[in-house]
Chain A
Amino acid sequence: GESVGLHLPTLSVQEGDNSIINCAYSNSASDYFIWYKQESGKGPQFIIDIRSNMDKRQGQRVTVLLNKTVKHLSLQIAATQPGDSAVYFCAENYNNNDMRFGAGTRLTVKP
């Protein structure tokens, strides 16, 4: 079974809107979390990370929020663009060498 994430839900948004992608993780001892983007036929690409001593981190157009109380992670994408269409994965540093991934969320951006 999976320790992280939801079973590939889909999210469809209009170009220019904000997107929020959610993820649940299972190990309360996990201390490091990452969001990846994967386009069709390519490997996962690092977007942003956050450590457990933080609850929010911002990048360029992206923000990651961490709620350790309920073991929840979210990725917010501002002003979503067609190029943001992809599958997004969250990952938790489950046990140092064991980075565990969710099944992903497919984001579709409508022009």
Chain B
Amino acid sequence: DAGITQSPRHKVTETGTPVTLRCHQTENHRYMYWYRQDPGHGLRLIHYSYGVKDTDKGEVSDGYSVSRSKTEDFLLTLESATSSQTSVYFCAIRPRGLDGELFFGEGSRLTVL
């Protein structure tokens, strides 16, 4: 158990509505990540954080923003959801830093109608 909790686990929303996904970790690790997983694309990095208030963009960051006001929480926000953002979103931590592996949460399935 990597000590990661994602919420909500499932959400259905409509195009144009804002959505926030939360990732909570219990072990105060510095590095946190948001990935999306789509058929045929594997996992792709959206945003990551290397500390409180320190975040940066990943490969597919358009349409997403993040915030990290506390070490334990990393929020992913879709300001105005689109159908192309229907996906499974995974949060990950990297306990051993940039030298080590990622540990993933259980995922949040988002459907945008």
Contacts and interface: CB of A to CB of B under 8 A. Distances in A.
Interface of A: 2, 4-5, 7-8, 32, 34, 41-46, 49, 89, 91, 93, 96-104
Interface in B2-45: 31, 33, 35, 39-45
A89 B107 CA distance: 16
Given A42-B107, A43-B105, A46-B101, A98 B90 contact: no
B64 interface: no
Nearest to B58: A98
Nearest to B90: A43
Interface residues of B, number: 25
A34 B43 CA distance: 13
A4 B43 CA distance: 11
Given A5-B42, A101-B42, A101-B43, 11 more contacts: A4-B42, A8-B40, A34-B101, A43-B104, A44-B43, A89-B43, A97-B31, A97-B56, A97-B58, A99-B45, A101-B35
B110 to A, nearest CB: 15
B48 interface: yes
